[in-house]
Structure 1
């Protein structure tokens, strides 16, 4: 029995030490989150997936180019500070925004067990990404949000074994999802505070 969350790296397993958030582990966990949108089963969310993937690649490229200076995300951003184009810094900032959007939507769904996903993702969008988007992008998201699957179908996919084995119980899924989301929320908040405190978000 291996439900979806057992097949991806949990944000709960991402190391955080005095130097910051482990870059390689964070990227692996973020790639797992991108796969979550496949379970939503709507091509409308392709724009979200594409954006997340693109920003992951920007951060990964910097990490691979200067691994000793990028062991943690904080170190990666600090070491790019003097460069004219801070591609990875901007990419990580937008990645965090996308992760926050996803995290807050699922936290809403977990806290409001009668709420459909359209409500959960719409509520999250209002409080996270919407303020950064222009009229055209807002329209794209409006279509995507209306295309969310039914809650019961999404949670059934979370419980299903991709290998075809028996599904996990909804209790197990909910417990693992709570742990996954709590860790993700902690990391996003930590890094967004770092950006704001150190002024790394200026210009973006």
Structure 2
């Protein structure tokens, strides 16, 4: 597999966009900019390449499919989709919910990923398999049926050793841990905003 970071850098140097660079308009109900959010989400899916197992392909494909649903709606109605919140409200007015459903599932996938990595970063003795399994139980598992759960369980068991994963993120481990922590904080903030927004009664479909 190709190295995930440039010489002397980290994985995050290659990311097209960090969640820290996804605008949030606090004066407009924490409106999250659609274009930048989708770019950051696409960058996150590259992390599953670093995890290195084909077992994670369904996880990455699921996220990519949901990103496409949201972007398709944005391209269809750009003036109504500048923020994710506007996109949802305006799509639901049309009695359709393809992109809204995509955002719900993308948010769940991002929540799963952020919880797994945060737990692993906070608990230096935990292997990735433990962190990902715990995060799956806290997030996606409740929404998955009998056919999907084994696929995700296989992915949890196929995670690389902790030391190998972090080595693929960069040579300077102090910098890797700091940048991963900053990236996660921004991701967690935006996931929290979306979970609250999508949980509102008027945004159910």
Bin the TM-score by the shorter chain: over 0.9
Task: Provide the TM-score with structure 1 as the length reference.
Answer: 0.92
Unaligned stretches of 5+ residues in structure 1: 160-166
1:112: how far off?
0.3
Moved over 3 A (4+): none
The CA distance in 1 between the partners of 2:202 and 2:116, in whole Å, is 27
**CA RMSD of superposed structures (Å):** 1.0
Counterparts of 1:21 and 1:3 in 2: how far apart (Å)? 26
Determine which of 184, 188, 197 is the counterpart of 2:187: 184
Answering whether residue 151 of structure 2 is matched by residue 144 of structure 1, we say no
Alignment of 1:114-133 (within 5 A): 114-133=125-144
Quick one: distance in 1 between partners of 2:83 and 2:93? 18
For residues 145 and 202 of structure 2, what CA distance do their matches in structure 1 show? 24
- Scaled by the length of structure 2, the TM-score of the pair is 0.92
Match of 1:23 in 2: 34
**Structure 1 residue 6 corresponds to structure 2 residue 13:** yes
Q: Deviations over 1:64-108 (max 9, x none)?
A: 111111111001001111223211000000000000000000000
Q: Is 1:194 the counterpart of 2:201 in the alignment?
A: no
- Find the aligned partners of 1:123 and 1:51 in 2 and give their Cα distance: 20
- CA drift of 1:199 comes to 3.4
- Deviating more after overlay: 64-73 vs 148-157: 64-73
1:199 match: secondary structure: helix
Specify the alignment match of 1:162 in structure 2.
Answer: none
Paired residues in the alignment total 194
Residue 94 (structure 2) pairs with residue 83 (structure 1): yes
Could you tell me which runs of 5 or more consecutive residues in structure 2 were left unpaired when the two chains were aligned. Answer: 1-7
CA shift at 1:198, angstroms?
Answer: 4.2
CA distance in 1, matches of 2:13, 2:111: 21
